[in-house]
Amino acid sequence: MLNIISYNVNGIRSAISKGFWEWLAQESPDVICLQETKAQPHDVPLLELEALGYRHAFHSAEKKGYSGVATFSKIAPNNVGFGCGMEKYDREGRILRTDFGDWSLLNCYFPSGTTGEDRQAFKMVFLDDFFQWIQEVKKEHPRLIVVGDYNIAHQEIDIHDPKGNKKSSGFLPEERAWMTKWFGSGFTDSFRHKYPDLVEYSWWSFRAGARSKNKGWRIDYQSVTDNLKDKISDARHLMSVNHSDHCPVRMVIDL
């Protein structure tokens, strides 16, 4: 069984200052995929990470203190792929692929549209481009796991106030339709596969005590190609872990 965690840390240096290394040592996942690292590799004390038994790969944004993904693994990948070959996304450090024998792991940080119309438009184009790109990736890597911050709550059960947020970026009808298309295109939502009716969230606004009131959104996912869904043992949100405005998402899978 493999323990795979996905976690938007909202700045890895900030998370480290809040006890991230100690938590990682205790949790000890086989692989952990971080989003929104907001750092270059030289900004991170890698010796501490290596002392915990992890190899590391980073795909950082060109802009300092922005975006970026990193994958830490106790098992050695046989190949690492940086980006998706589309410069406008790769310069923002959004996609990192690690291949482990006959299965591959994509660590993704989808754009947010919350800062205005331009970024919402960028997000929608990204979704279309990503969907097309993944079809080619799947041909080469048919056993695929796509984890990360998708920045979309799929269904009403995935958000604390669906009616109040129906015009909010991250819960727009066109974004939700994309998620439905995604999960109809050969991918399975690992958490919903195991728990069709359970309410758990992965992100809470820093405003108005949203986390203490559990007014959250489920926007972090571990999708697996349908040929892996029966190998999922468990998939949960570690909602008590608090180094970020997100919580880690854990999947246990027999690969």
Element (H or E) spanning 231, and its range? none
Burial of 29 (0-12, 13-18, 19+ CB in 10 A): buried
**CB 206 within 8 Å of CB 244:** no
Nearest to 219 by CA among 123, 136, 103, 97: 123
Nearest to 254 by CA among 237, 238, 235, 240: 235
177 Cα distance to chain centroid? 19
**Which listed residue (30, 149, 158, 245) is catalytic?**
149
The question of whether 149 is a catalytic residue gets the answer: yes
DSSP 45-90: -HHHHHHTT-EEEEE--SSTTS--EEEEESSPPSEEEES-S-HHHH
The DSSP code for 202 is S
Tell me the catalytic residues: 149
